[in-house]
Chain A
Amino acid sequence: MLIEVRGLKKYFPVRRGWSDVIRGRKQKFLKAVNDLNFTIEENEVFCLAGESGCGKSTTGRLLVRLLEPTEGQVLFEGRNIYDIPKKEFKEYRKKMQIIFQDPYESLNPRMTIYDLVEEPLRIHGVGSEEERFDMVYQALRDVGLEPPEDFMIRYPHQLSGGQRQRVAIARALILNPKFVVADEPVSMLDVSIRAGILKLMLDLKEKYGLTYLFITHDLSVAYHMCDRLAVMYLGKIVEMGPADSVILDPRHPYTRALVEAVPKGEVEYRRRLKEVPIRGEVPSPIDLPSGCIFHPRCVEAFEPCDKEEPELVEVEKGRFVACHLYRGVLEAGPGR
């Protein structure tokens, strides 16, 4: 086990207007991440999937400590990363890196590709100038930007979207991290380019023994890319398990709706409507529903759902679901 997440919460205070203060209204919070518990194994691709606003990106930022949590712990190799003093954390930063969604915005347009990829080495004082050159050269080859000397002297705007994302990957990997968070790394890219980046990420994972937290809204990509998958809804994990079994045989009513809704290129839908088993729209993350957060939209909601909050429990080996439908089939206690 490389990473253990325990009771992780991130609440963002909602801005109060003067009238709220005068009327003595209580400070409200947007519960972006609301009590997450999961582990990531070494050399695994662990996926967080869900719709926009479900808290998957916030979780990714928390796991590499770009954000401090409201509550909870993230144990990296057994040590809580939030307890590490800022100075010492710089060493840890080398081991955990993040790749962002938009390669058009995450690279400084005034820096050459060489400077961009070399920058992390300089910041961390790694190697001599010559050694750094060799490392950048190797990193560019690793990500398929060949011949490297051609790319080193270029600027981001001279590269295509796919090539820029390769630069972002080279930058993330040059410090030899153990753990990489990839936040929607291909969603801005064209289909023909996308698969190349995903394949590259898997190849590099094998070559360097990396562990990924892969964040995506696209279950088709999750299915092909990930070992295990956690589906998030309004800051909580509603279902977790091996990616293929969760997607091919979803248990939580929300996961079922999500999987049903994913376009799979089924031509028979041209002549009929696609009935997605879900009601209404995502409620405000500020005033969360009582009981199960999904109950107002759930087509299978019954008596306890608006009162009690279901725990994430293991209903079958490796399969965790937070839903009252599975109360009776509890096998192995709370899923922590």
Chain B
Amino acid sequence: MSLSSGSSEHVLVVEGLKVVYETSFGVVDAASDVSFRVGRGEFFGLAGESGCGKSTVAYSLVKEVPPPGRIVGGRIYINGRDVVPLPDEEMRRIRWKEISVIPQAAMNALNPVYSIGDQIAEAILAHEDVSKDDALARAEELLDLVGVGRHRVKSYPHELSGGQRQRVMIAMALALNPPLVIADEPTTALDVVVQAQILNLFKELRSKFNMSLVFITHDLTTMFELVDRIAVMYAGRIVEIGPTDEIVEDPLHPYTELLVRAVPRIGVGEKGRFEYIPGSPPNLLEPPPGCRFHPRCPKRFEPCDKEEPQLVEVEKGRFVACHLYRGRTS
């Protein structure tokens, strides 16, 4: 077994994950060769634009890729155990207890006809052999924890604001104390004030429980303010991984560099001057040969349209998949 699998410092290790969608138009290579690891108490970001495969990777981690998606290769170690070969029944035991997901637009995922307390309790009862009263008591604790307050335990979803509903979904993800939470665009649909509060909540949860987080978003400015390390995805590949500070200051991959510059930021750059990446991401049914970014890359050269670059460590802790860095391995 590889060095990574048994280590106790990593709560999640992904190696060579490959996910495809088998559609009637052909096989979509949604994510290939995806490898990264997340330490205990670490906040890890998966960034990229729509269709880059970040959500696919997120749902693969709990083996809930929506059909016709399928994991066809690679390993996913959760707390040292490879979950890819696990049967559904066993996976169900791991979900919520060892890893849980806050899905996209989660605040609309609550059932309108049950009180939020009942919904949280139900999640607990489905996984733990406790009484209904104990489960409800735990639901109250969780509502306090996420800042909704236990007095809301009998409230229905429509009585809560969008921000409060998002907090309820976070409470639900924490119901069984998982050491690792996957959050798919948890702040995207929220107004900025509420967004800031939700980010604060994640930070508080880390300091209380040493929780690990895989945070998925297209919004780099939010990501920069939350996570320790970032993986940037493009067209189903990780193109760069590095510590947040270094990605912000000195992005290595041309795509990361352009993406960071394309984000409008208050007080940064000349007003009214917009930098953007010409073209659009490729159709994954017919991805371009070689490096998938080469048709849009201003720095492409001879090998880029032929060979696909591998993700290699070029400096300590910095991984990049780009021919510009060939021969520069640390």
Contact = CB atoms under 8 A, between A and B. Distances in A.
Given A191-B218, A194-B276, A196-B274, A267 B265 contact: no
A226 B271 CA distance: 9
A282 B226 CA distance: 25
B221 A190 contact: no
Contact of B258 (A192, A220, A224): A192
A162 interface: yes
Contacts of A219: 192, 266
Given A263-B225, A276-B196, A195 B219 contact: no
A202 B268 CA distance: 19
A266 interface: yes
A217 B264 contact: no
A272 B207 CA distance: 10
Interface residues of A, number: 47
Contacts of B226: 269-270
Contact of B49 (A190, A258, A261): A190
* Interface of B (DSSP majority class): loop
A243 to B, nearest CB: 8
B245 A267 contact: yes
A199 interface: yes
Given A194-B262, A248-B267, A202 B272 contact: yes
B90 interface: no
Contacts of B266: 219-220, 223, 247-248, 259, 262, 264
Nearest to A144: B278
A303 interface: no
Contacts of B225: 263-267, 269-270, 274
A265 B191 contact: no
Interface in B164-219: 164, 191-197, 199-200, 203-204, 218-219
Interface string B241-280: 0001100100000000011001111111101111111101
B274 A263 contact: no
B197 A191 contact: no
A135 interface: no
A163 interface: yes
A220 B271 CA distance: 10
B163 interface: yes
A193 interface: yes
B222 interface: yes
Contacts of B280: 160, 162-163, 192-193
A91 interface: no
B192 A258 contact: yes
Contacts of B194: 281
A51 B196 CA distance: 13
Interface of B: 43, 49-50, 161, 163-164, 191-197, 199-200, 203-204, 218-222, 224-228, 244-245, 248, 258-259, 262-269, 271-278, 280-281
6 contacts: A192-B259, A192-B277, A195-B276, A221-B264, A274-B196, A276-B197
